[in-house]
Amino acid sequence: MILPLTRDQSLLCQLWQHCDGLLLTGGADVSHKFYAPRMPVRQRAAIQGVDEVRDEMEIWLTRAALRGGVPVLGICRGIQVMNVALGGTLLTDVPNHRHPEADGLIHRLHWEQSSKIRAALGAPAMPVNTSHHQALDKVAPGLRVTARAEDGIIEAVEHTTARFFWGVQFHPERLVKVAPQYRRLFKALVVASSR
């Protein structure tokens, strides 16, 4: 189900009752108002395409999912929303992480051995694509970093206590043809949501 963009929390509550899992997709930047309201103007200038209704809605959904134990998978903007929703911050402009090939296997990642995401992908873990100019800065309480790019940029997080609360900075949906193992992330979300 694709949820309509709305600030109407009563409508969101009604819709949320029909959701067994949450997929937070890629998209435009998250407004600084939700993580750094006093950000200097020069830094703010790098933020692009903000939709505060979407920001508010996805932050509300992320918190509701965590409270209710509903599985969450965040992709690109999605990992950023997850971090902001739990009190983290973002880097507003990261160089060298936007590549024109949507399915290009560009970055190797350094994974934590205990990562559930890496386990779901299977070994050996393939390189990933890169199509973002923002990334996680201060990691929110409750999240742990489970993968980084070679330059140190955070590429995956998992919640320390939630059953399934995973975020990735790359775009696995664009890789399923060139690296079919990335389908396993979506399968893992479906399996977790059916429990």
The pTM score is: 0.96
Q: What's residue 28's pLDDT? A: 96
| Position 100 pLDDT exceeds 90 | no
pLDDT tens, residue by residue, 27-41: 999 999 999 999 999
Enumerate residues 6+ apart whose C-beta is below 8 A from 11: 4
Average pLDDT of the chain is 95
Q: What is the largest CA-CA distance in the chain?
A: 47
Enumerate residues 6+ apart whose C-beta is below 8 A from 186: 73, 172, 173
| Position 18 pLDDT exceeds 90 | yes
Distance CA 146, CA 155 (A): 8
Establish whether 171 is a catalytic residue.
yes
Task: Map out the domains of the chain with their CATH numbers.
Answer: 21-193 (3.40.50.880)
Q: Which of 79, 84, 89, 20 is nearest to 52 (CA)?
A: 84
Establish whether 76 is a catalytic residue.
yes
Q: In the structure, what pLDDT confidence band is assigned to residue 98 with cuts at 50, 70 and 90?
A: confident
Which helix or strand (DSSP H or E) is residue 65 part of?
A: helix 52-68
- Please tell me which residue in 76, 132, 155, 159 is annotated as part of the active site: 76
Number of H helices, E strands in the chain: 6, 8
Output the six-digit token pair for 84.
């902001």
- Please tell me which residue in 32, 97, 159, 171 is annotated as part of the active site: 171
pLDDT tens, residue by residue, 175-187: 999 999 999 999 9
